[in-house]
Structure 1
Amino acid sequence: MYVVREIFYLQFGRFKEAKAMFEQANSLGLMKMPEGGRILTDFTGESYRFIFESPYKTLADFEADLNREMSAEAWKEWYEKFKPLVRHSEREILKQIS
């Protein structure tokens, strides 16, 4: 089992706007979370983050989801509007051992 975390560090003061964009993407079906996936935000630590945490049985499953999501034209249009809200991002891929 693998856990993929997509971490977006938002521009200061843009949290509400980014949250609204995530809600829009969710309502349009642009970001389909696998079962057991969740969206988190910071409570302590560096502020203004959105964290998508998704479990996958294999890395091939993750790659298939990523390719399907990123090749959709509606997702590309949405993402171009979302990028100005982000300072930077990172991806963590963790292997669950117990």
Structure 2
Amino acid sequence: MASHQNAECQTDLTGKEPTTPLSEVLAQWRADSTTVINAIRRLELLRINAEIERELEQLEMQELEEFVQMVLEGEAFLEEVPRRIRGAVRREVARRE
């Protein structure tokens, strides 16, 4: 590769003629760099997907916590209903007396 860095260079470091034409070396370099760029893009997409999955899990947990809170509040209300009914009955009885 060192022999092909400069277009004016006609020999490699050993003084021998290059065996691979510069155009092929450049084409391979472009292909290799495209492969690297595509791999970087894939890794970035995987990172973004993982981040999205984490956010979704957090949202799901938050929604679950909110649902549990609603259920607990509903249970507390239902536990309070008999007391309210007894109080209403007592008031009605007292009113009628």
TM-score (norm 1): 0.21
TM-score w.r.t. length of structure 2:
0.21
Q: Larger relative CO (CA 8 A, sep 6+): 1 or 2? A: 1
Which protein is bigger by CA-based radius of gyration?
2
Structure ranking higher in strand proportion: 1
